[in-house]
């Protein structure tokens, strides 16, 4: 694949800061990977001094794979290719002392921090909790402290939330834990305040490359600037039309800020798209033209007109899911060379995946889901992870409570309450209290004994965990707490078995990771929380259809894309329409369309069940915004039926063929 002139120019430009500004599929990410190779091979940068930052773990992994073809394995290993969060985590582990944390602090996911907030706020509804969490997160991403938040509070609610924010931070610190936002906020504050540490990191990471720069939030942007320092050695790439994380505080104005902050910023635009057929591109361009423009961009493709884009009206969600499954089967069987992984099904919200999963399962089509209800959110998985968390950081009270009570081991609520009281009065963690003779003397004899047994076990596990292979250690731990029996005993029907299978899945995954990366279980445990952030656990390498939210699909590409639920209220999302965030929804549509290489299909339901009631749905306004000559509308009252006779007839035989293949 030859590089075009602008790409080459972007790769070889080293005279100062550079922004590559271009539409979807124009090779921005490719510029980053090629530039890394150029920096190492031609410009003499040691690989360990180069940091490339991407948006998701999946994107980081893909980037590493692409670079593997360009540099030696040894060089690749030294490069820093990661997300903002994992870079922040690395910095924080190294500088933990400076911010009052010990090296093995815990990382709390949204569920964990939600629980803390719940305790602080008291018994308010889910919605209030979500709003509190969101508000605090936005303050954190804007680098505002609780005091600053209180100063700037505009109403009573915000004042209250600023106080909640303050005690939330105190609680996190007491647990020696950070949340996702802190992973970036704390290193940023540290670099701002400490010139020596700032200098150290600037010297360590001499060249910075940032993908998807339009989605950096204030805090990420600040961290990026602090790492860059005065000499301005960086390449940022981005597309303002693909900014889709405003709800997390992302600000595409940062692209413009770059120009202000670095007056000598060179801007290179890429205009040729190497991903999609002309029709797909034309639709994308036309839809996004309804948005105000930050930067003028053109995008064209040499790949011929391509397939017409079909818009299918389906009766309801079940029909929609069946239609997509059938079409995938049909396409797969008509073109035996294509793989299942060439297909992606994209949706606006995770709840839409349910019907699809059923349809794919009953059609026996293997699928992979990312960004969905995370594997790591399952209760049985969290139970096991709680043990690993305690071994890493015994002061992590929520993990300590979870581990000590699951499975039950004679330590009940009253024991924990007494321990808790003592811990609070003496400013200790529960784990510390459990070792304190004063605290132990308040407990009943039996409870005291049970607690001491547990504490001895923890000490033993801690020393085993550090020296045994990760998979082996986890097996032994599960055995010693009799976790399988616990699941089978306490769950009804088959659910215990299913849960145990999930635990075994975790065990295999940890064993593999341990072998592959040469890490023990404690080291693996330190990064698990991060994996839940934007996408799920890496799944085994099987050929399977990809299912994900539109947000998770950023940066990826697939020959066949199905974009489902294109209805008013679903996509664009009802809340966004009400809150006037239509532009962002439109950018999300632009992202969705431009994931497709050859073939794009949009579906919408005529009826949908909401809160138990059938509701009639209107097709998404974005469909009206598309050039009508490039789309074919099927299944509406006044148009052709969805399934042509040929397709309908062959469905059964395609399924039979698939089954044969599987055997
Ligand atoms: N010069 C080129 N010749 C042929 N193919 C190319 C060229 N540059 C990039 N590509 C291919 O085009 C596709 C899109 O590239 P890439 O993913 O880098 O685009 P992008 O601008 O990062 O897209 P997005 O905005 O969606 O993240 C990839 O398959 C890539 O390999
Ligand atoms: Mg990209």
DSSP state of 536: -
d(C-alpha 390, C-alpha 400), whole Å: 6
Average pLDDT (558-587) is 94
Distance CA 381, CA 385 (A): 6
Q: Check pLDDT > 60 for residue 651.
A: no
pLDDT tens string 289-330: 999 887 778 788 898 999 999 999 999 999 999 999 999 999
% of residues, the chain, pLDDT over 70: 94
Distance, CA of 248 to CA of 353 (rounded, Å)? 23
Q: Is 7 in the pocket of ligand 1 (CB under 6 A)?
A: yes
Q: Sign of dihedral through CA atoms 123, 128, 130, 133? A: negative
**What's the maximum distance between 2 C-alpha atoms anywhere in the chain?**
81
Report the percent of the chain where pLDDT is more than 90.
65
Q: Which of 147-156, 244-253, 373-382, 642-651 has the lowest mean pLDDT?
A: 642-651
Q: Using CA positions, which residue lies closest to atom 1 of ligand 1? A: 3
Q: Please count the other Cβ atoms lying within 10 Å of the Cβ belonging to residue 71.
A: 18
Output the pLDDT for position 532. Answer: 62
User: Does the beta carbon of 66 lie inside 6 Å of ligand 1?
Assistant: no
pLDDT digits (tens, 9 = 90+) for 355-396: 998 999 899 999 988 765 567 778 899 999 999 999 999 999
Burial call 445-484: b when 16+ CB within 10 Å, e when fewer: eebbebbeebbeebeebeebbeebbbbebbbebbeebebb
What's the whole-number mean pLDDT along residues 615-630?
96
Q: Give the model's confidence band at 245: pLDDT under 50 very low, under 70 low, under 90 confident, else very high.
A: confident
Judged on CB neighbours under 10 Å (0-12, 13-18, 19+), 19 is: buried
Judged by its nearest atom, the ligand closest to the C-alpha of residue 30 is: 1
In short, whether 275's Cβ falls inside 6 Å of ligand 1 is: yes
The pLDDT value recorded for residue 505 is 87
- Tokens 């969290």 sit on residue: 382
pLDDT of residue 643: 61
Provide mean pLDDT across the span 572-591.
93
Min mean pLDDT across 64-78, 242-256, 421-435, 501-515 is at: 242-256
Q: Does the pLDDT of residue 649 top 90, yes or no?
A: no
- Reply yes or no on whether the pLDDT at 536 is more than 60: no
d(CA 27, ligand 1 centre) in Å: 3
Per 3-state DSSP, the chain is made up of helix, strand and coil in percentages (nearest 5) of 55, 15, 30
Q: Return the higher-pLDDT residue of 127 and 565.
A: 565
More confident residue, 483 or 532: 483
**387 neighbors 403 (Cβ within 8 angstroms):** yes
Q: Is the model's pLDDT at 534 over the cut of 70?
A: no
CA angle 385, 77, 368 (to 5 degrees): 50
Query: Binding site annotation covers 44?
Result: no
Rg (alpha carbons) of the chain, rounded to whole number: 26
Pocket test for ligand 1, best of 2, 275, 550 (most atoms within 8 A of CB): 275
Determine the 3-state secondary structure of 436 from DSSP: coil
Pairing assessment for the beta strands 613-616 and 607-610 based on DSSP bridges? antiparallel
- Mind giving me the DSSP string for 482-534? THHHHHHHHS-TTHHHHHHHHHHHHHHHHHHHHHHHT--HHHHHHHHHHHTTT
Indicate if ligand 1 lies below 6 Å from the C-beta of 650: no
pLDDT for residue 55: 82
Any idea which residue has 């954190």 for tokens?
140
User: Which two structure tokens, joined as six digits, stand for 605?
Assistant: 């339901």
For residues 228-245, b (16+ Cβ closer than 10 Å) or e, as one string?
bbeebbbbbbbbbbbbbb
User: What is the average pLDDT across 150-174?
Assistant: 94
Euclidean distance between CA atoms 254 and 454, whole angstroms: 51
Give me the pLDDT at residue 119, please. 87
For 144-239, where are the alpha helices, taking DSSP H only?
Answer: 146-152, 156-174, 180-193, 195-204, 218-228
- Give the Cα separation of 624 and 600 in Å (integer): 16
- Measured from the Cα of 555, ligand 1's closest atom is 27
Residue 629 half-sphere exposure toward CB, CA atoms < 13 A: 3
Residue 647: other Cβ atoms inside 10 A: 16
CA distances from 15 to 28, 192, 227, 503, 651 (A): 19, 26, 18, 52, 59
Global pTM value: 0.84
Candidates 385, 393, 372, 392; CA nearest to 549 is: 372
Dist. CA 627 → ligand 1 center (Å): 25
**Cis amide leading into 407 (omega within 30):** yes
Closest ligand to Cα 553? 1
Residue 635 marked in a binding site? no
- 188-216 average pLDDT score: 96
Span 2-15, mean pLDDT? 96
Q: What single-letter DSSP state applies at residue 107?
A: E
Catalytic option among 33, 235, 242, 549 = 242
User: Is position 25 annotated in a ligand binding site?
Assistant: yes
Asked if 242 is an active-site residue, the reply is yes
Comparing 77-86, 469-478, 581-590, 638-647, the range with the smallest average pLDDT is 638-647
Q: Would you say the CB of residue 555 lies under 6 angstroms from ligand 1?
A: yes
Nearest protein Cα to ligand 1, atom 11: 274
Residue 337, φ and ψ in degrees, nearest 5: -75, -20
Q: Give pLDDT, residue 539.
A: 57
In angstroms, the CA 600 to CA 592 distance is 10
Straight-line distance from the first to the last Cα atom of the chain, in angstroms, rounded to the nearest whole number: 38
pLDDT at 432 over 90: yes
Measured from the Cβ of residue 295, the count of other Cβ atoms closer than 10 Å reads 16
Nearest CA to 598 among 346, 332, 282, 303?
303
Which pLDDT score is estimated for 460?
A: 96
Nearest CA to ligand 1 atom 29: 275
Rounded to whole angstroms, how far apart are CA atoms 235 and 38?
Answer: 13
Closest ligand to residue 595's CA: 1
- For 448-464, the pLDDT digits (tens) are 999 999 999 999 999 99
The dihedral of CA 336, 341, 342, 343: what is its sign? positive
pLDDT at 658 over 50: no
Q: Does the structure show a pLDDT above 70 at 72?
A: yes
Relative to the CA of 594, which ligand 1 atom is closest?
Answer: 26
pLDDT at 185 over 80: yes
| Ligand 1 atom closest to Cα of residue 30 | 18
ipTM of the complex: 0.99
Q: Which two tokens stand for residue 73?
A: 């394995």
Count CA atoms within 13 Å of residue 172 on its CB side.
Answer: 27
Work out the pLDDT band at 652, boundaries 50, 70, 90.
very low
From the list 661, 662, 654, the residue with the least C-alpha distance to 325 is 654
Is the pLDDT score of 637 beyond 90? no
Q: What's the confidence (pLDDT) of residue 457?
A: 95
* Residue 571 contacts residue 348 (beta carbons within 8 Å): yes
């Amino acid at each position: 694949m030859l590089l075009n002139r602008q790409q080459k120019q972007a790769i070889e430009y080293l005279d100062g800061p550079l922004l590559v500004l271009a539409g979807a599929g124009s090779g921005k990410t490719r510029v980053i990977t090629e530039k890394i190779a150029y920096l190492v091979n031609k410009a003499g940068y040691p690989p360990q001094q180069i940091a490339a930052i991407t948006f998701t773990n999946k994107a980081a992994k893909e980037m590493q794979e692409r670079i593997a073809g360009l540099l030696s394995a040894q060089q690749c290993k030294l490069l820093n290719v990661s997300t903002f969060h994992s870079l922040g985590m690395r910095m924080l582990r190294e500088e933990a002392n400076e911010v009052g944390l010990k090296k093995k602090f815990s990382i709390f996911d949204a569920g964990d921090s939600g629980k803390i907030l719940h305790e602080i706020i008291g018994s308010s509804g889910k919605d209030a909790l979500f709003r509190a969490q969101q508000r605090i997160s936005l303050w954190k991403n804007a680098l505002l402290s609780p005091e600053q938040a209180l100063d700037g509070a505009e109403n009573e609610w915000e004042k209250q939330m600023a106080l909640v924010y303050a005690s939330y931070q105190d609680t996190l610190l007491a647990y020696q834990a950070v949340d996702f936002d802190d992973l970036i906020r704390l290193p940023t504050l540290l670099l701002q305040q400490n010139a020596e540490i700032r200098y150290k990191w600037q010297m360590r990471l001499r060249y910075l490359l940032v993908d998807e720069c339009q989605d950096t939030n204030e805090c990420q942007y600040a961290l990026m600037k602090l790492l860059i320092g005065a000499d301005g050695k960086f390449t940022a790439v981005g597309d303002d039309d693909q900014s889709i994380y405003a709800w997390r505080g992302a600000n595409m104005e940062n692209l413009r800020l770059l120009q202000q902050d670095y007056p000598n910023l060179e801007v290179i635009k890429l205009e040729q798209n190497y991903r999609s057929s002309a029709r797909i591109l034309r639709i994308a361009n036309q839809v996004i033209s309804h948005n105000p423009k930050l930067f003028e961009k053109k995008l064209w493709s040499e790949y011929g007109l391509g397939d017409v884009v079909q818009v299918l009206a389906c009766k309801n969600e079940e029909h929609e899911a069946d239609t997509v499954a059938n079409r995938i089967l049909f396409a797969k069987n008509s073109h035996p060379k294509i793989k299942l992984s060439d297909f992606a099904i994209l949706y606006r919200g995770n709840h839409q995946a349910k019907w699809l999963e059923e349809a794919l399962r009953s059609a026996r089509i293997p699928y992979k889901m990312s960004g969905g209800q995370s594997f790591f959110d399952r209760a049985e998985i969290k139970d096991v992870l709680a043990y690993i968390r305690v071994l890493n950081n015994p002061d992590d009270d929520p993990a300590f409570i979870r581990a000590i009570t699951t499975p039950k081991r004679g330590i009940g609520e009253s024991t924990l309450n007494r321990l808790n009281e003592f811990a609070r009065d003496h400013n200790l963690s529960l784990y510390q209290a459990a070792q304190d003779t004063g605290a132990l003397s308040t407990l009943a004899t039996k409870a005291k004994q049970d607690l001491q047994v547990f504490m001895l076990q923890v000490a033993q596990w801690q020393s085993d965990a550090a020296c045994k292979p990760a998979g082996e250690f986890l097996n032994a731990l599960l055995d010693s707490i009799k976790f399988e029996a616990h699941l089978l005993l306490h769950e009804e029907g088959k659910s215990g078995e299913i849960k145990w299978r999930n635990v075994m899945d975790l065990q295999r995954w940890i064993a593999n990771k341990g072998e592959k990366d040469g890490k023990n279980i404690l080291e693996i445990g330190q990064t698990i929380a991060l994996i839940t952030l934007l996408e799920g656990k890496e799944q085994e390498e099987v050929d399977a259809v990809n299912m994900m939210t539109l947000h998770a699909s950023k940066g990826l590409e697939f020959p066949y894309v199905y974009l489902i639920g294109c209805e008013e209220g679903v996509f664009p999302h009802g809340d966004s329409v009400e809150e006037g965030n239509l532009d962002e929804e439109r950018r999300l549509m632009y992202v969705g369309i431009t994931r497709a290489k050859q073939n794009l299909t949009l579906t919408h339901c005529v009826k949908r069940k909401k809160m138990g009631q059938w509701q009639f749905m209107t097709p998404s306004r974005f469909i009206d915004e598309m050039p009508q000559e490039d789309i074919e509308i099927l299944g509406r009252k006044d148009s052709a039926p969805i399934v042509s006779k040929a397709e309908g007839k062959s469905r059964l035989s395609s399924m039979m063929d698939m089954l044969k293949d599987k055997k």
